[in-house]
Each structure stands twice: as structure tokens, then as C-alpha cells.
Structure 1
């Protein structure tokens, strides 16, 4: 029999107390903390309780913070998750960190103020305690004995009624738009048109359309949920740090406020308002960049309803009888429901180079002292009947280009777009291009996943050429970082990894792309310069295998020769990861989705071309 906590008739001289009925719930949400890690609160449903206290530079209630730290020291390793939350009063992560030195509790950065609002926080000395399994709030008030009693009741799996005690310290000022004043026509429809409608339309890749006021109103609870949990728009980055990204999909804080507060206010629509979404016109062509100069039809592939589909390696003859310079390329998937990715390799007329030969050539190109040491390592491994530690060789010699194992080499050779959800176009800046020589072909590594329904995929690849006789002045280069050895323990919630990619010449970095599989959790990219200084380029705090996105810098970043790009990330091999096929197994490197990869793909342009 569960014990019901009933804290009634409390007489408080400094705070008013009200005992409310159980049942008040805060919805699921996700926020990035001041260290750049994202916390999706549904992930904490294996905890007994979650405790959250406001924090702000110059406004933190120090007595409450000290009391919370005491509880943290006592209960953090006993199934209780502790957080601070900055209710949109600052967005500068470093300023927040500097304000709470030596405090180990993450500060959730509620830049749009929506989570603090949903938690019912009104004062800086008001903490919230809730049950992470049900999101039911059981306490709201100062950090005092009643808070600990509610926490202990949750730990004991006892029924708890909500206790609310008014805060007495600094009030939290909420700003922004009033949800009841939001206009569908002037406020909501433009946000949907700009950020959602291209996918959420008839014939789009999204599972439902938002192409009218009634459809948006009907889906409004879902809109609130995906905005609050940062599931949509997809592939969001941490846009408060690093370099500005040209193709970022984040909603602005203001747009988030507008959408969520409109939904909270009832998602009302004035029938007299016009409906801008019904006036949107979409191209009826499959090609985003216009009709290609060359269309390659990949042989149709029938994908079964169930089971595992082995990777396919499909050779394609381009039929080119003369050299052509490539401006860009695009993949039009035939059945995006089953096509997970395509890795496209250009095969020159003389055929692909042997990866082993290319690897040996890359080793021999190093200074002889290092090359001799690597050859000795490889000889010793062979003599012992073992495979050489390729991962160690690349880790200790980051100036070896991993791309040599993936078919790279010719500086003039064009690249052709591959495919992954959200990433189907490769387009060069004006005056930049690559050469497809007569007789060249393609090798397509195609990966399909089953969906419960047999489907046939008839993908096409379009290539766009420069006009005949026009030779672009510059070439695009790039690099690949790849961890060849991966060993993720069973049930590991945050298994960290790091890899380094070397930029041999002065270059302009153009884009960065992380790649992991189902257990991928996060990845960030840091430039480490020859003098040892480091600069954060991009943070992807909530990596999603469903969206393989290349992030293009709004302004190319010029870096000196010898710069290293460090990719730091982590895997979640626990049961809390809802995409995890099996948390009970050790996970190693492999091509299939239930195995893992840890890779960074980079695009840069060598500055020497301008000389």
C-alpha cells in the first residue's frame, strides 16, 4: 500500500503555501546545457526524480543553490537527476559557466523561456521536482524540507500530491509574444511555410501534410511536442556557439515562442483570415537544381518487406565520350522509404586504385623516420599473425589522408553526390568544379532498409556540367576522418570518442558532416591550429542517424597548413536510447546500421589555387 504524502495546513511566514491535487504534468522537452550537451528529458525515465532550480548571471539565489548542491551531493548517484535552468535571461554559455565555478550541475539554457514557463517557475528561488516516468510535478517551491520529502517519496515509489510554495526572491521576467495575440495568417503560416511545408505537403517526404489552416490546427499538439523536444526541424545544431551555418534548420527563439504559445492558447484561427499555405506552389520536378545535363538511371532494386538487405555495390557506365567539367550533381531517390544511403565513388577510365597500394604509397610519402616506424609495426603484426592496428596508424599520423582508402587521389577528379536523408545535392561555388574524364564510371554503395512492405527503388542521379569549353579555375578538396577501431561497452550511456583529420595546406573550410549509426549521440568539430589554439566550428548536440546532414559554413574559414580538425563525440548504447537495437552487446565497427562508425566528412578549398 502506497503512502500518500499530504502536506496540509502548513503555516509559513515567509511564503504562502497551497496544496493542490496531483495530476499537474509538464510535457517532455529537450534543452542544451551550458557545456553544449543536449538533455532530452524522456531519456531520464530510468531515474526516480528530476529536480530543477533557476539560475541566471547576477540573479541566482545563492542560498537555494547551496541547498540544492547539498541535495546533489547526497542523491545524484541514487537515481535523482539535478539541473539548473537559465530562464532565457542569458544566452552566453561562457558567462553562465563563469557565474557558477565548481558547480557540477548542468545549466539547461532555456533561451526561448518555454520550458521555464511550462514548469510554472515564477521566482529564482523556486525549484521543481517531478516524476520523470510520468512528468507529474510533485513539488514547486524553495529548496527546503518539503522538497526533500517529495524527492524521497518518489524514490520510495509512493504516491505524491503536488505541494506548491510561492517563491519570495527575484521574480522571473517573461517576455515575447502573447499566445492569444498570435495571428495564424500573419504569424503562424509564415513560420510553417518557411520551415515545414516543403516536406509536410502532398508528395513530400513527411508523413503528413500541413498545407492549410485546418491541418495546422489539427496537428498543433504535435507541433508543440516536436518543437519542445527539438525533434523538428530535423538535424538541429547548437547555433549559439561555433560558426554560423548556412543551411541550419533551427527555429529562432522567437518562432518557437510564437508556435508554442499559440498552441498553449488554444491554436485559435480566425475564419476570416486568408490561408497562405493553400497558396504555396511546389515544383513538379524531382530535381531541386533544375533539369540535369546527364541523368543516370540506377537499375531498379526490389527491396523485401522484412529482413536485412546486404550492402549493394552497383557499377554504372556514364557513357561519356569526352571530358566534361562538373558544376554539381543531385540524387533523386526512387523510394526514400527504403533507401538509406548511397556512397558514390567516381571510377576513372583506368579503373580504381587498389586501397592497399594507395595506403602503402601514403605511408611512403611521410618523412622516412615515421614511415619506417609504421612499416615496422605492420611487419611485426604480420609476423605475429595479426592484423595491423590501422586505427592507431591513422591516429598517430593524422597527415595520412583517409580518403586514399576511399578512392580519392586525382586533384582534378570530380565528385558526384551521394545520398542520405536530408543530403542529396552537391553543388560547387561559381568557378569551382571537377573533371569527369571520358570513359569514367561510378561505383555506388547502396544501403537499403526494410519497412514491412515490399518496395521497388528506381533512383536517378543527375549531373550538371559547365558549358563545353569552359574550364573552372578552382577545385574543391576535402578530407575524411574515420575511426577504424570502435568498442562500445554494453549499456554505456555516454561512450566518448575522438578522431583527428589533418589539413596539409592553407585552406578554406566549407562544410563539415558527422556520421555515426543508431547509437550515435553527439559530435562537435574543433579546429586546432599549429600554435595549439582551438576554435569550436560546429556542435551537433543531438545526432540523428535518420538525418545525415552536411553543414555548410555561411562564410568559409581560412586555416593555416597543419590545422587539425578534431571530431569529439559520444555513443549511447543504453536502453535509454530508443533507437538502440540491443543494449546488451558490445558494439564494434561495421557497415550495417546495428554496428557503428565514427566519421567526419570535410570539404575545403586549397588557397594555393588563388596564387
Structure 2
């Protein structure tokens, strides 16, 4: 018997050496009777390969990055500078070590969150897609944001090799002060009933007490992560500037970064690109450039200006290799770059927007000038470009056709019809698809809504708008329409980092959606657009995990989205009214809807057409029916297609609450779209009667 025990003990010792188990205490019974079995397979696969994998060294400091999590919410590392510590734990779907470690990570989070420690998971697995990460997070209770490092740039810089590894980072220096397992409970093929050593907690205690971390590095168990570019470090120095880098810069950068372009520097030769290469790496890692923020995992878009994953990795790896010049003539230096006056070519008509003197400081109310429409015959508009002279001072320019020139010269929006173009910070030309256009009658006037923001220097803005028409006598077959999902009832609490608001429109007839233009102000954090079909199923159409006020644009779908009659288009905005938002004018303030940039907006402009409408058979009544859903859509926060008493907000909400019992004709405790429409019609008739009788409206 002793002989058998000796053999067994020797076998166990051999196993410990083979698997690299640092804590070889006898395993206790697992809470999951199958956990040890599954861990054994994972441990075998993971650690068997580890013998051939040299551990990558820690970086001198962790560079800034921005990544979206599995729920398409963005997280930027350096915005956590006020945290006491940042804990990043490497994650991977299907890894039993990760699954078994998750409860300990959550317990660590629960213990230290109130002390100002931030926790994030980092998934650098090439095989893990967002949908699968979402599903596993639900199944295993991952309630810490899982950052999707799809290009592996963050994992590469951190030196990640396997899952379930904890990195404790000091935000004062952005140095990693601890790397290793959360504790000693889980090892390969076995686990203890209770941890005896709490490495991560000890590191956090030391960091927050200002002491050196006693044990800064501990070998961790976990499933190996494949980083194929690590084996190609020598090849990165051979990336060709001539054949690889210059074509990317010309395709995705030069349009803005050339003489006369809107970019702050020119990137038209190797010397300039090399000089700005550290900055290029930074703006790519933080998703500031290129300024195209639609998440690549959601939808396909026409004229997508984002870098592809391969382009991102090629640029960053080339820069990290020292941005070598290599052989060959510089293909960019051979070209004389100059931004064209009008990117769409010579316009058919150019209108001067009335000049405005922007003051050095202060608050400027919206300006609403109007000008006569110079064409006497109606024309079909196919494209427009607004060229802004003072880009720092112009927040937006909106336009609308009016049947006659107002006597007071003011282009009030209540009189507007079709838009002839628009601009917001960072936006570009508006172009209709082939055989689709907007009809602008002859005569009348064009009204403008111009928002100017002082920027520290007095300046005069003389913006212009270029218009492109279909040839005279030619009209497109189909008609482009526009409407906005908006919610002027929004209220954003003070000192709140993630406040959500939602609004929608109900489409009464079959339509095709061409583009969406999300718009918020300085506290805008993210924006989504979802379609809900008549059967209740939903599909995410557009997601901006990181909304950027400085770069706003219409996102045009690669193929128009079919919107069946009865579908809802639902817009969701998240606002960051916390001190961690560097653009926040005042986190102590409760923020409501307002025109100025220090106030907020909820505004998603849509371009669409009715399937049944042609230029020979116009359907304005469809637009009227669509607009009828606006009031319900802006206040129905629980999306049940009914307005409850508690949901009625704002000035109109106050009026609804006062008359709720009367409006609720079926007495079901909720107001339907038909009930709200009937109430609006009644209020409209009363207002008209008062005006006709000489009373105040």
C-alpha cells in the first residue's frame, strides 16, 4: 500500500512539473463536478503550447486606447485618470479557466469599486465575435464591460499571452504594477475550495496605500491567445512605405490632410508622415482618426471612410517598427495635391449665405436669415455642398424652401418645405442616389438656421452653398424625403456618466431608409439606430459607440434598408454628464434640450423614400401620417407604444398630464397614437377658434 502511495505521489509531483502548477495543494471538490474535467482539457491545450511561447515583457507604460465593449459602449483608458487603480483582466470565450475565475474577479470588483477602482475585461481573441461574446456574457454572468480588441493592438502592447490574467495599472503613471492571477484558487486541471493567496487584492491594497507591490509578477493559469503578428516583428520593419503605407494614406487621409484641406497638417510625403507617425499611431488607437465612427460590426455603409483592420495593423506595426523609409520613389511626393474648391465639381448654382460677424466671446442666438430663391422654374435637386468659411465658429447650417420671401427677412422653420442641404461640424456633401431627387419649386425663398459659436477671436463667416440639379426637363423617378427622430423632453442628471434617452417614429407605409445623421452636443457619448419590425423583432442598423461632436456626418447605408409599414425606427442616445467627459462644460448641471452647445439635443435626421411614391404620384399624406407618431415616440420611454402618465415630460407633457383622463378615451391607463392625435386635433381647433374670435392663441 505504501508502495502504491509513493508511486501516486511521484506521479502527482511529475504532473505538477509538467503542468507548471505553482500551488500543488490537494484539490478540493469543485462546486461544478465537471469543472475540473473541463479545466483539464483547457489546461492541457493551453499550457502544452505555453512551453514554446516566450512571455512578452511589460510595456514601460500603457498607451491610451479606445475600445467598444460587447454592448457597443466605448471606453477610453486615459479618461479613467482619476481612478485609484485600473484593473484589466484578459478574457476569452469558451475558456474554462476564465469562466471559473469570473466569480473571483466580480468579488474583487465589488470590494474595490466603491474605493475608486475601475475594472475592465479585454478580449483579444481573433475567433471571438461580438454576438458570441454577448451570449457567453449572459450565460456566465460577466457583468464587467468586455472590451473587444479586434485588432489586438492593446493586447500586443500590454504583452498579453493568455486569458484570466490580471493587470493592475496605476493611473498616475499608467504603469502596470501587478501582472498575474487574481488568486491561487484555480490552476490547471484543479481548483481549491478557497484561495489562500490573494495576489490582485494585495497589489491593489499596496497601490492605494502608496506602497510598492510586494509580488508584482505571478505566473497565471489561462488559455493561450494567438497573437500572430508577434511572430512577424522582424517583418514589420520591412513593411514598404512605397507599396503599403503611401497607398493607405492617399486613400484614407490625403483628402483632408492636403493644402486647402480641413486637416491641421499635410500628409503628402514621407517626411511629413514620418514626423507625425507617433500622433498617427495615437489617433488610430483612440479611434479619433479617421473620423468615421460607425462600428464595423454593425451594418455596411457607402463611402465608408474608416480604416480596414488590415490597414490599421499595417500602419501601427510600421510606426512601431520606426516608420522605415525603405526603397523606391515616394509616390505621394510626385503628386501636386490641392483640395478642390468644390469636391463634387463645378456647381450649377452657388448661393451666398448671408454673412455673420461672430463675436470673440459670448453666446450667439440662432440666426435665421432668408434669401430669395433665384430660379423661376422648379428644378429637381440631386446634390449640395455647404462650404463653411469659419469652421471653428460654425456649429451648423440648416436650410428650407419657403413659398415666398418673408416680409421680415426671417427664415422661420415653421414655414419650411424641402431642404436644399445642411451642414454640421465635420459633415460633407449631401448626394442623392441615382434617379432620386428633391423637388424645389420656382420663386419663393430659402431660409437658413445658422448656429455660430464664438471661439476666442472675432471673425466674419461668409459660407456658401453649391447646388447640383438634374438637367432641365429631366426629373428622377423617385422622391427623397427627410424627417428627424427627436426628443426635446430629454433631462440629463448632473454627475451621471451613462444616461440613456430613447425616441422613435412609426412608419405608416413601406419605405426605404437611405441614411441617418445622429446629432448631439458636448455631452453626447454614443448613439444607436434600431429598426423594430411589425412582428416585434429588432435589428441594429447603426451604432456609434463613440459619438464625436467634432465629426458629424450622415451614414449612408450601402443598400437602402427596407422599412415595412408598421415598423419603428428607434434612436437611442447615451450622454456623459460626468467630470470624466473632457468636453463637458459643467458636470454639476442638470441638462435639458437647448439650442446652445452647452445644452443638449437628441436629433437623428433620416433620409428615406416611400416605396409607393414617384415623382408623378406624390404622397404627402404619408409624411403627415409619419409625423403624427412624433409626440408618442419622443415620450414613450418604455417603448410599449402607449404614453403613461409618468412618461409625459416637458411643456407638452405638462398639458397632457393635466388632461390625461379626458384624452384616455378607452380608460386603459395609456395614451395611444390615435388618442394623442385626436387631442392634438382638438387643441388645434380650439386655437384656431380663439384666433378667429380675437382671443390669445
What band does the TM-score fall into relative to the shorter chain? Answer: 0.7 to 0.9
Residue from 319, 335, 341 that aligns with 1:263: 319
Q: 1:204 aligns with which of 240, 250, 261?
A: 261
* Count of aligned residue pairs for this structure pair: 543
How far did residue 563 of structure 1 move? 1.1
CA distance in 1, matches of 2:420, 2:215: 59
Distance 1:407 1:339 in 2: 23
Deviation at 1:262, TM superposition (A): 1.6
Higher mean alpha-carbon deviation, 570-579 vs 61-70, is at: 61-70
Deviating more after overlay: 175-184 vs 331-340: 175-184
Q: CA deviation at 1:351?
A: 6.2
Cα distance in 1 for partners of 2:405, 2:364 equals: 31
Higher-Rg member (1/2): 2
Per-residue deviation, 1:13:
6.8
**What SS does structure 1 have at the residue aligned with 2:333?**
helix
| Deviation digits for residues 101-154 of structure 1 (CA, Å, limit 9, x no counterpart) | 222111111000010111111122422110234311111112222222111222
Structure 2 equivalent of residue 192 of structure 1? 249
In 1, the alpha carbon distance for the partners of 2:214 and 2:459 equals: 52
Structure 2: how far apart are the matches of 1:598 and 1:336?
A: 23
Evaluate the alpha carbon distance shift between residue 568 and residue 60 of structure 1 in structure 2; reply closer, same or farther with a 3 A threshold: farther
Alignment match, 1:322? 377
1:148 paired with 2:171, answer no
Structure 2 match to 1:73: 110
Change (3 A) 1:90 1:541: same
Please tell me whether the aligned partners of residues 36 and 541 of structure 1 are also in contact (alpha carbons under 8 angstroms): yes
Query: CA 1:436–1:523 in structure 2 vs 1: closer, same or farther (change >3 Å)?
Result: same
Root-mean-square deviation (CA, aligned residues, Å) is: 2.6
Q: Is the 2:494–2:591 Cα contact (8 Å) retained in structure 1?
A: yes
| Residue in structure 2 matched with residue 389 of structure 1 by the alignment | none
The aligned counterpart of 1:87 is 124
Quick check: 1:520–1:570 contact (8 Å CA) kept in 2? yes
**Is the CA contact 1:479–1:501 (under 8 Å) kept in the aligned structure 2?**
no
Map Cα deviations across residues 179-212 of structure 1 (whole Å, 9 max, x no partner).
Answer: 2231211222122111111111222111111111
C-alpha contact 1:139 1:163 (8 A) present in aligned 2? yes
**Structure 1 residue aligned with 2:278:** 221
Give the conservation status (yes or no) of the 8 Å contact 1:41–1:132.
Answer: no
Residue aligning to 1:7: none
Rounded to whole Å, the distance in 1 between the matches of 2:434 and 2:210 is 64
Matches of 2:318 and 2:95 in 1, distance apart? 29
Tell me, yes or no, if the aligned pair for 1:32 and 1:109 is still in contact at 8 Å: yes
Q: Which residue of 2 aligns with 1:561?
A: 565
Tell me what 1:344 maps to. Answer: 399
How far is 1:282 from its partner? Answer: 4.1
Deviations, residues 443-492 of structure 1 (Å, cap 9, x unaligned): 11111222222222211111112111112221111321111112211111
Distance 1:22 1:321, change over 3 A: closer
Question: Which deviates more, 326-335 or 166-175?
Answer: 166-175
Is the 1:299–1:458 Cα contact (8 Å) retained in structure 2?
yes
- Report the equivalent of 1:24: 60
Contact 1:298 1:461 in 2 (8 A): yes
Taking the aligned partners of 2:291 and 2:510, their CA distance within structure 1 comes to 33
Match of 2:302 in 1: 246
Distance 1:122 1:527, change over 3 A: same
Higher helix content, 1 or 2: 2
Residues 343-392 of structure 1, C-alpha deviation per residue, up to 9 Å, x if partnerless?
A: 1111123869xxxxxxxxxxxxxxxxxxxxxxxxxxxxxxxxxxxxxxxx
Whole-Å Cα distance in 2 between the matches of residues 158 and 55 of structure 1?
29
Structure 2: distance between partners of 1:180 and 1:129: 31
137-146 or 215-224, which moves further after superposition? 137-146
The residue aligned with 2:227 is 174
Within 1, Cα distance between the matches of 2:308 and 2:526?
A: 21
The higher-RCO structure (CA 8 Å, 6+ apart) is 1
In structure 2, distance between residues paired with 1:557 and 1:406: 29
The whole-number CA distance in structure 2 between the counterparts of 1:287 and 1:436 is 22
* Structure 2: gaps spanning 5 or more residues: 1-20, 25-46, 184-197, 618-697
Contact 1:30–1:40, Cα closer than 8 Å, also in 2? yes
- Distance apart, 1:253 and its partner CA: 1.6
Secondary structure of the residue aligned to 2:86 is strand
**Partners in 1 of 2:109 and 2:74 — Cα distance?**
20
